Amino acid sequence: MPLGVSDSSLSDGVNNIIHILTLIFIFIIVIVIAMVATRIIAGYQKGASNAANIEVIETCRLTVNKYIQIVRVGEKYLAIAIGKDEVSFLTEISPDEIQLAPSKAEAMPDFASLLAKFTKRNKDTD
């Protein structure tokens, strides 16, 4: 045993390491439970809002509580005004007048490709 190190200080150090590892293990379990719960809730919400005939095309905010939306209902496009307590029909829009923006899902990069780029860049710098 090294000079100046007693059995009690050595066991205290081991106890501290065991406590830290236990906390890390509990933290990992909590993160895994949160991920599983998020996936379950997302799957439930995705199934609950599976409306193929109604789609919000575009939203423009006018004031804090007032919006104008272009909504596709079946094959028709409608402009509606949405307030705090009311929804008002404004007009029907012909499909030729609609300029569809690229969907956000197409514009968003794939997380796996971003992660691969990031890890490759970090390997190159090491």
Collapsing DSSP to helix, strand or coil, 61 comes out as strand
Q: Cα 112 to chain center, whole Å? A: 15
**Which pLDDT tens digit goes with each residue over 57-90?**
889 999 999 999 999 998 899 999 999 899 999 9
Q: Would you state the pLDDT for residue 1?
A: 46
**Which pLDDT tens digit goes with each residue over 16-63?**
999 999 999 999 999 999 999 998 888 777 766 666 788 888 899 999
Tokens in use for 112? 């796996």
- The CA distance from 9 to 27, in Å, is 27
> Cβ(67)–Cβ(60) under 8 Å?
yes
